[in-house]
Amino acid sequence: MMLRLLTAGESHGQAVTGILEGMPAGVPISKAIIDHHLARRQKGYGRGGRMKIEKDQIQVLSGLRGGLTLGSPISFMIPNKDYENWKEGMDPFQGDLNYKKVSHPRPGHADLPGALKYSFSDMRHVLERSSARETTARVAAGSIASQLLSVFGIEVASHVRRIGQAAIEQKQVEFHELKASEDSPVRSVCKDAERRMIQCIDEAREDGDTLGGVIEIQVKGLPVGLGSYTHWDRKLDGKLAGALMSIQGIKAVEVGDGFEGVKEPGSCVHDEIFYNETNGFNRKTNHAGGIEGGMTNGEILIIRCGMKPIPTLMKPLKTVDFHSKDVHNAAVERSDTCAVPAAAVVAEAVVGLTLTDAFLETFGADSMEEMKRRWK
Ligand code: EPS
């Protein structure tokens, strides 16, 4: 592994922090680009009250000088504005351990296994860290990493394919079409699907319910041969799937045709190979989603993720009291009805980090200058 990311921070603690280690020296990094991605992650129809409080902006503490990476660990923080309202319970030394205790585990949440695993009697200890607030750090780090990829013309983009029962009908969305998702409150590239998705979210909110969905990430401009077929832990699709599955709420990942592809015979699924002087080896289809044998094949990378509905329901499911074991309603905390659009931005970041790691493995060097020579 060339690039390592450590994140820390409780959802209502002072800040979300991170250390990104392994970036080569001399990569130009823009704060405006990082903050732009942090703002994209905060948007999305279906978010709750918290996003009105936060205005995520990065503070870089080390590893950069004059907008260039130094090759040293890049440490950063994104303050939680909401901490002011939670100080009484969340202060690292003075915090009141009886503050807003949680003892009714939410089905589908980390609450119960987390409390059992760490011998906690208060599930607040679990939910503070398992919260998707942590993804702020991954988006910041992903944006730093992706700024290296963009020097080499590699672009990462995403869109939302489904929210609950509402889905885009268009099977294949081209990379250039993804831009339209930026103007959509649900990150959809289709106005009709957008309308239906918003309606589904409104209905779920009224019912005190939540919704999941499907996101798609595409990456353009990748060279052939990132990752490797030579050993299981070098396969790029394995690394991408693992990284994406680690995003809060993600329950499924597929590459290219994924689950749809398994229904068809091989003759319909594999992408025939052509050659011409201008483009070299090329394909007219991309069922493989840009990966063959655990390596990039030069086509656009296409990955989809399924996100489950958020487990915090305003109309709660049944659970048992952690202490008395009596039947009870699950805990209700302020939360989002749907965070699928935000998850798409997080997925872009996670893909950016994984690809930068793979890129550094292939072209890796101490400095940007050396990397450019190897790339050439
Ligand atoms: C989250 C619950 C909500 C979300 C939060 C994730 O926060 P709160 O409990 O403060 O209302 O808004 O997401 C974020 C804070 C974020 O930045 O994305 C949860 O329990 O996972």
pLDDT, residue 1, reads 87
Mean pLDDT of 144-173: 98
Q: How confident is the model at residue 35 (pLDDT cuts 50, 70, 90)?
A: very high
pLDDT, residue 264, reads 94
Cα–ligand 1 centroid distance for 335 (angstroms): 6
Number of the ligand 1 atom closest to the C-alpha atom of 248: 21
Dist. CA 285–CA 229, nearest whole Å: 22
pLDDT, residue 364, reads 87
Domain tally for the chain? 1
Phi, then psi, of 83 in degrees rounded to 5: -55, -35
Q: How confident is the model at residue 126 (pLDDT cuts 50, 70, 90)?
A: very high
- Tens of pLDDT, residues 230-264: 999 999 999 999 999 999 999 999 999 999 999 99
pLDDT, residue 210, reads 98
The distance of Cα 27 from the centroid of its chain, to the nearest Å, equals 23
Alpha carbon nearest to ligand 1 atom 17, residue:
133
Work out the widest C-alpha separation in the chain, in whole angstroms. 74
Whether residue 50 has pLDDT greater than 90: yes
* CATH code, 280: 3.60.150.10
Mean pLDDT of 49-56: 96
Cα–ligand 1 centroid distance for 167 (angstroms): 25
Q: Is the dihedral of CA 120, 332, 184, 39 positive or negative?
A: negative
Alpha carbon nearest to ligand 1 atom 6, residue:
132
pLDDT, residue 279, reads 87
Q: List all residues whose CB is within 6 A of at least one atom of ligand 1.
A: 11, 48, 50, 82, 127, 131-133, 136, 333-336
Dist. CA 2–CA 360, nearest whole Å: 6
Mean pLDDT of 48-55: 95
pLDDT, residue 365, reads 82
Give the chain's count of helices (H) and strands (E).
Answer: 12, 18
pLDDT, residue 93, reads 98
pLDDT, residue 333, reads 87
Q: Range of 140's domain?
A: 4-375
Alpha carbon nearest to ligand 1 atom 15, residue:
133
Dist. CA 351–CA 141, nearest whole Å: 11
Long-range contact pairs involving 265-269 (C-beta distance under 8 Å, separation at least 24):
none
